[in-house]
């Protein structure tokens, strides 16, 4: 994988899903997820955000779904999608995860976090299986 693996966890044939910064590749979705996630947690800590909000569960799932859908489509059709879309859906995911991580740090395993985990745990194996079954046998 090489020294850039921590910034780009993609195999060489998937580097089109990264931004190239000189010799380093940075995963497009992660570039959206992590800065937003850390910023959202930091803001909530700074303002002592409440631990419960109305509609928290549907909002957490709604913020998770675009990245999960975009990732799923990309697994089934590797040439689809753009890095801008990956970064934007990653930012939405970072927003949702930042909120649930903040709550989790103060009150472990909130319902919204478990729902996000459940959604990903159901979709990811199904998409991986579907992508595997679609691969040409040779």
> 3-state class of 33 per DSSP?
helix
| Residue-level pLDDT at 1 | 44
**Low-confidence residues in the chain, pLDDT < 50:** 1-3
| Residue-level pLDDT at 79 | 87
Residues in the chain: 138
Spatial distance between the Cα atoms of 86 and 20, rounded to a whole number of angstroms: 15
Q: Write a three-state SS string for 86-132.
A: HHHHHHHHHHHHHHHHHHHHHCCCCHHHHHHHHHHHHHHHHHHHHHH
| Residue-level pLDDT at 8 | 66
Question: What does pTM read for this prediction?
Answer: 0.89
Q: How far is CA 19 from CA 4, 10, 76, 97, in A?
A: 12, 11, 21, 23
């Amino acid at each position: 994988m090489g020294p850039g693996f921590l910034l780009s966890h993609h195999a060489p044939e998937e580097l089109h899903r990264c931004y190239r910064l000189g010799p380093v590749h940075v995963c497009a979705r992660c570039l959206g997820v992590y800065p937003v996630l850390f910023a959202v947690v930091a803001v909530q800590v700074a303002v002592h955000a409440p631990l419960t909000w109305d509609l928290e569960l549907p909002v957490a799932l709604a913020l998770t779904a675009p990245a999960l859908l975009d990732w799923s489509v990309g697994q089934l059709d590797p040439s689809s999608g753009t890095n801008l879309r990956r970064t934007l859906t990653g930012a939405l995911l970072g927003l949702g995860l930042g909120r649930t991580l903040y709550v989790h740090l103060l009150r472990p395993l909130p319902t919204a976090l478990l729902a996000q985990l459940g959604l990903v745990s159901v979709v990811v194996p199904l998409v991986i299986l579907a992508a595997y079954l679609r691969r040409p046998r040779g």
